[in-house]
Amino acid sequence: MKNFFKFAYEKLFRINDSPQRIALGFGIGAFSGITPGIGPLTALALALIFRANRAAAVIGTILTNTWLSFLTFILSIKAGSAILGGSWQEVYQSWTSLLRDFSFSKLLDASVVRIVLPVAIGYLTMGAVFGLLTYVVTLLILLIKRRKKK
């Protein structure tokens, strides 16, 4: 695992592109990686739309995909519930109940919108915040590293 992160780090900082485009691509990748279900293809599409570095977007997605989504689950529920003005505890209990007794018919239930919408909005919010932070940190590191080379 340590070798994988070292490999990704070396690849990211050796990309031949502007620091802004690399950082933007990595931030987009982090956003799409933290948001469940959208992954690398969305990162590539967003990188094309925003003219960001596509390789950095894929690296960002791979580094954050899935495992970070589990870590931010409660934060996403809290953020989404706060934005929508609901109780995060109710959403969390409903969500765990849905997962425990999962069936596709329950997904079609109208009350699921009360469960899925706060989680989706929360993940999009957390992804945007994480993507922005990743962009800023990556840009600063790239600028510092490139100044040292000169």
Q: Where are the alpha helices (DSSP H) in the chain?
A: 2-13, 19-34, 39-49, 54-64, 67-71, 73-84, 88-100, 104-107, 112-149
What does the pLDDT read at residue 2? 67
pTM of the model: 0.82
What does the pLDDT read at residue 37? 77
- Write down the domain spans for the chain: 2-70+127-149, 72-119
CA angle, 131 then 21 then 44, to 5° = 65
Q: What are the CB-based long-range contacts (under 8 Å, 24+) for 145-148? A: 145/13, 146/19
For every one of its 150 residues, what pLDDT tens digit does the chain have, with 9 covering 90 and above?
567 667 766 777 778 889 999 999 999 999 999 888 788 899 999 999 999 999 999 989 988 876 777 788 899 999 999 999 999 999 998 888 877 887 777 766 657 778 889 999 999 999 999 999 999 999 999 999 888 876
What does the pLDDT read at residue 76? 92
What does the pLDDT read at residue 19? 93
What does the pLDDT read at residue 5? 66
